[in-house]
Amino acid sequence: DGGITQSPKYLFRKEGQNVTLSCEQNLNHDAMYWYRQDPGQGLRLIYYSQIVNDFQKGDIAEGYSVSREKKESFPLTVTSAQKNPTAFYLCASSINWNQGTGNTIYFGEGSWLTVV
């Protein structure tokens, strides 16, 4: 089935450790995104990528890093510099940032990260 796959679903990290969340899509979408959601809150954009080998910071990029070496993959690394990393992380994708008919963004099922 076509879709966006995030892994792992649940992840525990010790303080001071980096951790990488995986996001893979088989929708042939050009653009991919990472959002963070805290309990009871809306989504905040961390990073986005419009094409392969290019990405831009979102509203809360500090303490995070990404790469976009392949069209279908957009991994997110939560570094030790992120002061409050415990959250629900959502990956998303859309077909092409420059299409004018609505360009819907679709989401994965999310990954829970807990720092212990």
Q: Which residues bind another protein (CB under 8 A)?
A: 4, 6, 31, 33, 35, 41-45, 48, 50, 56, 58, 88, 90, 92, 94, 97-110, 112
- In whole angstroms, the minimum distance from the beta carbon of 42 to another protein comes to 4
The residue (of 21 and 90) whose beta carbon lies closer to another protein is 90
- In whole angstroms, the minimum distance from the beta carbon of 105 to another protein comes to 6
- In whole angstroms, the minimum distance from the beta carbon of 91 to another protein comes to 8
Quick one: which of 114, 115, 108 has its CA closest to 6? 108
- In whole angstroms, the minimum distance from the beta carbon of 94 to another protein comes to 6
Alpha-carbon distance of 23 to 49, in angstroms, equals: 13
The residue (of 16 and 42) whose beta carbon lies closer to another protein is 42
Quick one: which of 109, 108, 36 has its CA closest to 72? 108
The residue (of 30 and 80) whose beta carbon lies closer to another protein is 30
The residue (of 18 and 103) whose beta carbon lies closer to another protein is 103
**Degrees (nearest 5) of the Cα angle 103, 107, 110?**
165
Cα–Cα distances in angstroms (integers) from residue 107 to residues 6, 33, 50, 63, in the given order: 10, 9, 16, 22
Q: Do 96 and 71 touch, CB atoms closer than 8 A?
A: no
